[in-house]
Each structure stands twice: as structure tokens, then as C-alpha cells.
Structure 1
């Protein structure tokens, strides 16, 4: 009897162990189904706002390739650039850190310190073939920072084509991608950064109309003057997005023909928002909210819309986890969203992904001493809260400089030409250039153009306080100098954009700034 009982107990233990093993295998199946060392194709446009892709039901932009990626994968509704400025945003993508953690690389056209690790070099050390075409981390100086090549990888941009307009780059992005793959050894995984220059300015004026687009189809944001000139400018912008999309489509077709498509993670996004006033270079909605679609064969369930907030510092840890590489990014503040990709759900998947952070320091020279306009922001489902750290500075540049500084890079737009003629244009013009309070709050649901600042509205005092505390807490644990001390250090960093503005007597309009490429340590002692 005793032996029979013992045998029964042993049998039960064996059966239980079997079911435990089966349960463990089943519970981990989503991770186990990951293809080992998949290819990663990162396709990034230059200056494209959400929702300017037809997958987002935008009427004046047609993006069938982006739409295919979204339909056969995931369309994200809440992806936010680390900065409304290209080189800081790209540095955040590469390092998994926010711009206030990146020293010189957190400013436009400065250094990329060698102390920071790029996920691309980690992939390369682990056997990936790594390269790029078009625009990598740029503009800025990586050579004198100790890098032997651009932090993105090896360049493949020699092959050219004839662009349809004068504003479009002559780089043949597709041909250069094919050339890159010809250097791959058998079964070697690859990471390729396809950095197209479109739809960055400048545009060939009227090119959208010449291509058959119609003025009445343009969707004019509330922060721009709605007239024919603005609409024409938006159509030119849309045409360049479509050029970007055409190369994306050709690259996808090539991967499909070579049998590599389903083993390739395709990520399509933009570095920051559209190159228009109150969008690019500013932390308003159209400056930081960007498109994002991701496809990965049968590894992820298709036709999903996801509302989780994705920040640019989340890409690096995600790519490394996809590649099966342990985190080696020196305390990245970003977090992998592989779990979001592998989920079969739509909507909000990770309940902690309810906000995104963004920031800005100096973009172009626009102020005496070459000072920047530091901003930090937090975006939630409903609100955008901004903290302006230097509200006494002119946000678009000093009045005698801004037309030659930041604002002149953004328009063609009638706001600049009609400010003395049209009352609405005058109001919009002042929204762009006038000084701002230290805090701004916008209801993005009701006011995506960020026209009505609610920071002084007592009905929103609770939301203002909550977002202020949340933003300050995030910046504190990430050791942002603007919050924990010595924030002036950002204004001391060099710029590698030639300063060529002089008054009629030949005197520099930037008193106090050292020179091209030199540190301006005098600003460290201003306060």
C-alpha cells in the first residue's frame, strides 16, 4: 500500500512538472517566436508632421508604401520626436537618451561626444552589417569628437538619379540600399538607416500644383494663414513626402523579390515636424508629433492601431532587444517597446506608456551671444505642457535677427509677407515671434494647432499643476541641467554653422560669441 502511494505521488509530480513546462513554454511563446538576428530597416524622413500620411486619413498626401507598412504591421498614433530639431532628435534615436542627457549633441549643429554609445555600433560589434544612405546624424561635427565615421554607420550615398524637382535630393536612396546589400556575407543580418532629405526645405515653388495637386485639397493647420500661397506651399511639401514614399515602396519591393521582406523589421518615421512656423523648431504639436509605422512579417499581428506613447529614446533599446543583444547603452532613459510589437492587441497596450517628453536648446543662431531658447515639454493623451526656461528671450530670435536666423528657414509663408496687411496674419505672426510665459498648456484634443494657452485659466489649474510636477520629476531623475543646475552649459556649446551676419559697418551681430566651432564659456557665469 505504501509503495503504491509512493508511485502515485511520483506520477502526480511528473504529470505536474510536465504541465508546468508546457505552461512556461506557452507563456513565453511570443518571445520565442522572434526570428534570431532579424534585419532592421529604419526609414526616416526629414521634417514630416503627424498626420501627414494617407494611412492617417490625410487628404492631400498619398503614401501607399507607408500605408502598406501600417496595414501589414502597426500604425502608431503617438510617436514623439525627442526635439523639434533634426540633429538632437537623431542623437536621441541613436543613444536611447533624451537631448538633455547628451551634452553637445543635445544642441543643433554641435559635437556628438564620443563618450556616448550608438546602438548601431553595438549591432556592428555583434555581427550586423551597418550602413546608411542620405542624411545620417546631421548636421554636426562627429569627426573632431573622436568618431571614425558617422555615428549611424558607413555611408552609401554615391549613386545618383535625376530628381523631378530642384528641391529634391539627387541621391538614389533605393540604388544605394541595393549597393549596401551587395556587401553582405551570406546570412549576415543588416541594419540600414535610409535617411531621406525630403520633405526638408527648400521646395521648387509650385511643384505640387504642376504635379496635379489641387489647392482646395490642402489641409491648413490653424497656426498658418489659409490662403492660396500657403496652400501651394503645403502642396509642395506633400509632393516631397510622396517622393520619400516612392523610394520606401521600391525598397520594400526589392526586399520582397529577394525573399528578405518578412525577416526585416521595417520602421518608418520622421525626425521632427514640418518646416513651417510654429511647427519645426518649436515644441508645439506639429513640431514634435511624427508618423510611425512598423512591419515585421508574421512576427507581429497586422492591421493594428496602437496608442501607446513612443519616444525617440525608445528606439535604441528596442532595436537591441529585437536583435537579441543585452542593453549596452550606458543607462539609456528609453525603454524597449518590443512587448508592444509582439502583443496582438490594438489601442493602449502598455498602461505605463501614457506620456512622452521632448525638449529644445539652440537651433540656429538668432540671438546675441548665440543663446538658445530652452524648452521642455510633456505630452499626454489630452494635454501638452511646456516649460520655457528663458521667457525673457525672443523665441524666434532677437527682433533684428530672426528673419536671418531661425524663422527664415521655415517659410515662404505669407505670415511673413502680410503681417502689416491682414489682421489674422498679424495675429499668427505674433504667435510665432512674441515672448512667451514660463508655462504653456494646450488641450490637444480641442486645439491641435496650440493657439489657446490655458496656463492662466483657473479651470485647468489642476492639470497644469499635475503636469508641472510630472515633468519636473522626470527631468530631475534624468539629471537635466536646466532643472538640477548649470543649465547655462547648453548655451556654451559650439556651433558649426558659419556665423555670417554683420551690420552695415561690418560688425558681427553676435557680440560675445567666440567663433565658429568654439565654446562660449562666458555665458556660464551670467547667473
Structure 2
């Protein structure tokens, strides 16, 4: 059933070479894609973060476009990266919707499509995954290189390139010494209301931001290489993270803290410097964007939308995006998933939890050793403090927000509740809104061949092998 997906209604088939719309450059455009691991919105200076120091990201935003409403397709590494590579919603990727899974080689990925079109493709460090890829000759994100510089050293002058610069920053665990050396003032960090505001949590956030800064410096080094080799003027640079930050009620959750990401795109001559794009955007839009920019056809199976119209100011409004999750970590007895679909508009967040009887953050008494109990929450000082103090009044509310069971439906008015703390699903005053969003989600699931539209409690993803 999952392997037989062939297309989607309304998929883009844009294939006109970008250079045909203007006089130069004559050569196909190069692509540098820089992706952090667990870097969430708004943790960048250009996004208004009071403590994050990200001069490289800010530079890309100044010299290109800043996307203020960008979201991952899934708040979990493997399915998010699979969606980026394939341009498809995770539920269309079989086992690839789970963390630590396998992406079958039957799915097209944009690096392969560009390589077939004459591009030289490469990758450094974290690309696809985590997971296994026995059907592929190399990581689906591209063959590995020690660094971007060594990749460029071997680059033929007349050949376009597509390079995936993958970092493990700012994924846990953190080095407190790096945080101490960062110069970030703990008093300046923003502690969201779904976390306890304690010195320990502030120090944990400082350590996270120190790794964000390290990633930013590394991308800055890559930009200098482009400048030094005269490649910057004909290279699209995209900088983002694979999903939200690794905190309770964030990563592995479909609230904005788990799904909203920084995104900046620089394309000299195409993206007007200083452009701010508020249009709803998904990271699965990047694959069709890269293909469109290279003048290649976009496969009909891709659910993402090329961002070139958004960059040129000609994009039609996008009423909503959908994010989703299946199984994240090994966090429940029987290795069960916690499947969710969530529809995000400019103002509203509607969430459908398919197994409300299960624990959303993992079972409270199931400990596989790596992340501990509530295994969908990454281990770290914040989680430890939350668990050890769960019965104290200062922590009880935030502990319940992170770990408590959730109803079948959730509805949040993000205009007044940006952190999704007050569920309005049972508020009769919002019944019409809930009905409308529920119908939109249902229709989208139908259009994209989501197995849960006809079998909402399917156990397919419960049974997929976990390779972690």
C-alpha cells in the first residue's frame, strides 16, 4: 500500500531553467545546503533572539531572504531529513516516517536527480538519518567528504555542484565548557513558559546556543570558501535546522517548539537582499526548489512546493501546512509509535492524536537506557531537573505539559497563545474553527495518500524495524 504511491493532486511540474528567465549566469546554479541538528526557531539573531549570536545566518538573511514561518515536515531527525531529500510528506515514505529506519531506494531524492542532470554531489557529516541505507551506494544525501573545502578542491570548473553541509550541532549532549566559553549571559536567554525557569535550565540553554554559534561559524567558513573561489555569485545557499530544539514539549512534538525552524536562502540576482517571507513554508519544499532552480522537472510525487515564486514575490497564498510524526525513539513497551498529524495556519494549530491512550513522551516506566523514562525526550539537565522535581509546585505544570496524556484533538489560537498552552478543542466558541481545520486536514490526508485517513489506527509504523 505504502510502496505504491505514485503522485499527488496539484503537484508542481516546474522545470524551466532559472537562468532562462534572466541573461546570466550561463552555467547552472550551484547549491550549498547547510543543515543543523536540532536547531529550532527563533534561535538566530535575525529572528530576534536576545541571546543567539548568528552572524552567518544573519548575513544570509540580509543578503537574501529570511523565512519567518518555516516548518519541518516531522519533528524527528530521520523523517524530517527524508522529507527534505524526497520532497514528500513522511507518511508517503513507508518505513522512512520513523526515526532510525530505512529509506527504500525506490524513492527519488534530489541529490540523485541532480547528479543525473550533470551535477557533482557531495556531503559532509550528518546527512540522511539516523538509519540504514543498504539499498543505496552511499548516504542518500550524497557521497561523503571530510570537508566542504576538500570537496571544492576536486571540483571541475565547468561542472555545477550540490553539497550537503551537515552538522551534529546543536544536538545533545552538550559540553558545559563550550557554553562557559561562549560569552552568552544566562540572564539574556529566553526561557519559554513550558519550561521551568531555573539556573540549571538557563545554563542548559546557554550550552545549546553555544553549539548553534559553532554551527554558524562553520557555515561562515563555507561562505568564505565560496567567496575566495569566485563561486558565491552563482551559488544558492540555504541554512536551516532539521526540526525544533531538543527540549521537553519541543523536539518530537508538533507544537511550534518542535516544528518551527530558522530558514534563510541567499541567491544572488534572484532573491532580493533583505527580503522577509512570512508565507508558510515546509522543508520538504526544498527538493522541488533545488530542482526548479537547476532547470529540472519536479517529480509529480513530490508534495513540496518550489520556493522560487516566493523568492520572486509571485507565490500564491498558502493557507496551511501539515506536520506529522510516527515513531520517534524506543520509548514505549512494544516499541509503539505516537502518531500525530497537525495542521498549522497563520493563526491556528489543529492537532490530531491517533492514540490518545498512549503516553506522548514515552512510557513513564519504560527505560531503555539511552534517554531514560519518557524516552521521546532527550536526556539532559533540563529533563533531569524536571523528573526529579515533578511533584514540586514550581515544576508540576511544566512536567505535565511535557509528559501528560493528550486528548484526541487539540486546538490552539497562536495569536494569543504562541506556545500552545491552552487547548481550545472543547471550547464551543471555537467549534466552527475546529470543524473547518479538521476537514482541511482530512482532505489533505486523502490527497496525499496518508494511510491513516482510511486506517487511523494502523500498526504499520509500530512494526517497522528500529535500527537504533
Q: Same fold (TM over 0.5)?
A: yes
Of 117, 133, 137, which aligns to 2:128?
A: 137
CA distance in 2, matches of 1:46, 1:461: 38
1:238-253 equivalent positions in 2, closer than 5 A? 238-253=209-224
Matching residue of 1:32: 22
Q: Name the SS of the counterpart of 2:386 in structure 1.
A: helix
Q: Which has the higher contact order (CA 8 A, sep 6+)?
A: 2
CA distance in 2, matches of 1:300, 1:473: 33
**Is 2:386–2:399's contact at 8 Å kept on the other side of the alignment?**
yes
**Is 1:482–1:488's contact at 8 Å kept on the other side of the alignment?**
no
Q: Name the SS of the counterpart of 1:203 in structure 2.
A: coil
Deviations along 1:291-340, one digit per CA (max 9) or x if unpaired, are: 1000011222111111111112211111001001112x352111212111
Q: Name the SS of the counterpart of 2:227 in structure 1.
A: helix
Matching residue of 2:5: none
Query: How much does 1:445 deviate?
Result: 2.2
**Is 2:248–2:377's contact at 8 Å kept on the other side of the alignment?**
no
CA distance in 1, matches of 2:207, 2:166: 20
Of 238, 256, 264, which aligns to 1:293?
A: 264
Deviations along 1:203-251, one digit per CA (max 9) or x if unpaired, are: 0136423432212101001110011111010110110000000011111
CA distance in 1, matches of 2:312, 2:96: 32
Distance 1:108 1:97, change over 3 A: same
Matching residue of 2:228: 257
1:339-488 equivalent positions in 2, closer than 5 A? 339-343=309-313, 350-401=315-366, 403-404=372-373, 406-407=375-376, 409-413=378-382, 414-421=385-392, 423-485=393-455, 487-488=458-459
Matching residue of 2:138: 149
Matching residue of 2:280: 309
Deviations along 1:330-381, one digit per CA (max 9) or x if unpaired, are: 52111212111233xxxxx523323211100001111122110000011111
1:145-184 equivalent positions in 2, closer than 5 A? 146-157=135-146, 176-184=147-155
Q: Which has the larger radius of gyration?
A: 1
Deviations along 1:94-139, one digit per CA (max 9) or x if unpaired, are: 1111011000011110111111011100101111110111100011
CA distance in 2, matches of 1:434, 1:408: 13
Query: How much does 1:60 deviate?
Result: 0.7
Distance 1:369 1:33, change over 3 A: farther
**Residue correspondences, number:** 443
Q: Name the SS of the counterpart of 1:377 in structure 2.
A: strand
CA distance in 2, matches of 1:280, 1:33: 44
**Is 2:244–2:260's contact at 8 Å kept on the other side of the alignment?**
yes
Distance 1:298 1:29, change over 3 A: closer
Matching residue of 1:123: 114
Query: How much does 1:457 deviate?
Result: 1.2
**Is 1:59–1:218's contact at 8 Å kept on the other side of the alignment?**
yes
Unaligned runs of 5+ in 1: 1-27, 158-175, 344-348, 498-527
1:208-223 equivalent positions in 2, closer than 5 A? 208-223=179-194
Q: Name the SS of the counterpart of 2:43 in structure 1.
A: coil
TM-score using structure 1 length: 0.82
Q: Name the SS of the counterpart of 1:193 in structure 2.
A: strand
Query: How much does 1:34 deviate?
Result: 6.4
CA distance in 2, matches of 1:109, 1:45: 18
C-alpha RMSD of matched pairs (Å): 1.6
Q: Name the SS of the counterpart of 2:124 in structure 1.
A: strand
**Is 1:365–1:405's contact at 8 Å kept on the other side of the alignment?**
no
Distance 1:226 1:198, change over 3 A: same
Deviations along 1:246-268, one digit per CA (max 9) or x if unpaired, are: 01111111111111001000011
CA distance in 2, matches of 1:40, 1:492: 37
CA distance in 1, matches of 2:45, 2:73: 24
Deviations along 1:148-195, one digit per CA (max 9) or x if unpaired, are: 1111110013xxxxxxxxxxxxxxxxxx10100122112110000001
Q: Name the SS of the counterpart of 2:449 in structure 1.
A: coil
Unaligned runs of 5+ in 2: 1-17
Distance 1:230 1:33, change over 3 A: farther
Query: How much does 1:410 deviate?
Result: 4.3
